[in-house]
Amino acid sequence: MSQRLVVIGSQWGDEGKGKITDYFACRADMVVRYQGGNNAGHTVVFDGHKYSLRSIPSGIFNPKTVNVMANGMVVNPESVITELEKLHEQGITDYQLFISDRAAMVMPWHSQLDGAYETLKGNALIGTTKNGIGPAYCDKYSRDGLRMGDLLEPEYFAERLKGALAVKNPQLRLLGLPEYDFQEVYDRYMEIAKVLGHRICDTSDLINRALHTDAKILFEGAQGMMLCIDHGTYPYVTSSTPSSASVPVGAGISPKWIDNVVGVAKAYCTRVGEGAFPTELFDERAHQIRERGHEYGTVTGRPRRIGWFDAVVARYTSRLAGIDNWALMLFDVLSGLDKVCICTGYELDGKIIDYPPSTVSKLARCKPVLIEMEGWKEDISDIKDFDSLPEAAKAYVRKIEEITSVKVGIISVGPDRKQTIIIDEKLKQF
């Protein structure tokens, strides 16, 4: 029977999922992306080379791995082509990649609308990646969207495109944005169909067949749980659900297959874009962590905001996504701090609460209840097993396990694949 593993971000994205998914992708027969689009930015480092992935699954480096961009994603075909071209330039030419015929397509007007909405909001902007993710999901749900499979049927595509432009062009006109000419878009997308057409298929069928073999299947989440459209810090969220709960719908499989979930969490917290962030640090320590952890956005280059590990968020995301193990990332970055803190609760209007409130206005009033622990000075980036970590570092890990009631199954002490301590036995088997 197949082995399944879901890897999700458990904070505000950028937790280092790229490294963990890459680690397991090397061992996986199939890697599936099931939500989000090219708003994600994974950096993968191995053999001294650095690769950036946006919408393509992390198994792309292994010729034997089947990579799937499933129906829950919003796929920007132009971006996929650019990504593949970059990989080709870096010598990655032998791979297997399939794209769902049911995946919503990100069209050029989506990124323009994304940018325009942000501008109109003024100071209340979301801080999106401006890749058109929100508008593409909106069109999916308002049924004005085009899907990847439409590209395979030129006449049907033409019909769908006319329908989409009938709705979109008046909106663009109202916003003072250039309108789209049917023929130009049609011709361009028929060119795209020539490049990507052979990769478009019923990926739900592909995945379900693999589930009934002894394949190792990795479901690769994008963004993080606090950016979830339902459970995150709305409206400062992305437009999909980055949870393990998205896998069944987003990949076209039964929920019964979801039984092993890794929540990737930084040993501290970061977020890009706007929105309340209770454990945010503003002093020299934030600067130190940002520089040591190279905390600048992969997609936008923006400096990330830095905060202490937030166990309120960790407990919440574990509850929502059924997290079996934490992968504690960038643990080496905390070395050198005199003291390290963990947030165990929030103080909201004089009361202590142990969950994130539903509105950002309340969240903005939350003050972190922190416990302070001894830091450690040692460089831990070459450590290969848990027992060899400094005592203070071990105590920090144990405290996170105790407060969140979830084991730390993986500790990452550096960007390279080799700098990964796997503690959990089931994860060692994958």
User: Where in the sequence numbering do the catalytic residues fall?
Assistant: 14, 42
What is the smallest separation between the CB atom of 96 and ligand IMP, expressed in angstroms? 24
Q: Contact, 175 vs 128, CB < 8 A? A: no
Written as six digits, the tokens of 127 are: 């801080």
State in angstroms the smallest separation of the CB of 189 from ligand IMP. Answer: 22
Supply 245's token pair: 């709960």
CB of 273 to ligand IMP, least distance (A): 3
Find the length of the chain.
Answer: 430
Which region holds residue 13: left if phi is over 0, alpha if psi is between -120 and 50, else beta? left
Could you tell me which of 46, 49, 37 has the C-alpha nearest to residue 83? 37
- Which residue, 137 or 331, is less far from ligand IMP as judged by CB? 137
Dist. CA 304–CA 286, nearest whole Å: 10
**Matching residue, tokens 């574990």:** 318
DSSP 296: B
CA dist., res. 392 & res. 217, Å (int): 36
Residues that bind ligand IMP in the complex, under the rule CB under 6 A: 13-14, 39-41, 126-129, 131, 133-134, 222-223, 227, 236, 238-239, 272-273
- Report H helices in 175-202: 182-196
Nearest distance from C-beta of residue 55 to ligand IMP, angstroms = 10
Sign of CA dihedral 233, 234, 236, 241: positive
Rounded to a whole number of angstroms, the minimum distance from the CB of residue 113 to ligand IMP is 11
Q: Closer to ligand IMP by CB, 278 or 345: give it.
A: 278
Other beta carbons less than 10 A from residue 198's beta carbon: 11
Using CA atoms, how far residue 366 sits from 270, 278, 304, 344, in Å, is 17, 6, 20, 12
Q: Do the beta carbons of residue 219 and residue 25 sit within 8 Å?
A: no
Chain position carrying tokens 């792309």 = 60
Q: Which CB, 41 or 59, lies closer to ligand IMP?
A: 41
Which CB atom, from 263 or from 345, has the smaller least distance to ligand IMP? 263
Query: In 3D, which of 200, 221, 218, 217 has the Cα closest to residue 209?
Result: 217
Q: Cis ω on the peptide bond leading into residue 170 (within 30° of 0)?
A: no
228 or 383: whose CB is closer to ligand IMP?
228
Closest distance of CB 33 from ligand IMP, Å: 12
Indicate the residue among 9 and 345 with the shorter CB distance to ligand IMP.
9
